[in-house]
């Protein structure tokens, strides 16, 4: 089953990956292959980790992959800043991609909190301390 496709954060991160890919096509013409490749890898990693994590058997495992996706989103944010500061990305394109990256990151953090909260709800109760007897 492909339940990850139903997650709005996956859909938005997939759209972000497509947008990042098209925004870096011009870098290839400028022979900035490594910058384009690194930015694209970070962007592609976000929805890929959501998809992989959703196929795991426990919510702890899923949360781990969501954390990796968050790290990739932060990496993407930096690469966008770098190519903008190098003059290789228009400020308006940077602003759009940065806003979408931040939105996806917030969604990932929220989903991770929800997923890790499930574990706490299903965890065995903590033992109560015994009352002290005089």
DSSP state letter for 89: S
CA distance 127 to 9: 37
pLDDT of residue 118: 67
CA distance 19 to 56: 28
3-120: which CATH number, 1.10.287.470, 1.20.1440.60, 3.40.50.720, 1.20.1330.10? Answer: 1.20.1440.60
Mean pLDDT of the chain: 90
∠ CA(17), CA(88), CA(96), 5° rounding? 45
- The pLDDT tens digits of the residues spanning 44-86 come to 999 999 999 999 989 999 999 999 999 999 999 999 999 999 9
Q: In this model, does residue 120 exceed pLDDT 90?
A: no
Question: pLDDT-based confidence at 1, cuts 50/70/90?
Answer: very low
CA distance 105 to 43: 12
pTM: 0.85
The H or E element that residue 59 is part of is: helix 59-85
Q: Where are the domains of the chain?
A: 3-120
Question: Residues 39-52, buried b or exposed e (16+ Cβ, 10 A)?
Answer: bbebbbbbbbbbbb
């Amino acid at each position: 089953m492909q339940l990850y496709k139903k997650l709005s954060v996956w859909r938005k991160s997939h759209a972000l990956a497509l947008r990042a890919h098209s925004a870096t096509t011009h870098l290839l013409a400028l022979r900035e292959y490594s910058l384009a490749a690194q930015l694209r890898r970070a962007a592609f990693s976000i929805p890929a980790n959501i998809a992989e994590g959703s196929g795991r058997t426990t919510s702890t495992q899923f949360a781990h992959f969501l954390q990796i996706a968050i790290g990739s989103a932060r990496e993407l944010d930096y690469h966008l800043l770098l190519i903008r500061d190098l003059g290789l990305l228009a400020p308006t394109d940077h602003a759009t991609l940065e806003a979408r990256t931040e939105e996806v990151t917030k969604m990932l953090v929220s989903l991770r909190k929800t997923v890790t909260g499930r574990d706490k709800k299903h965890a065995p109760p903590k033992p109560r301390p015994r009352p002290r007897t005089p």
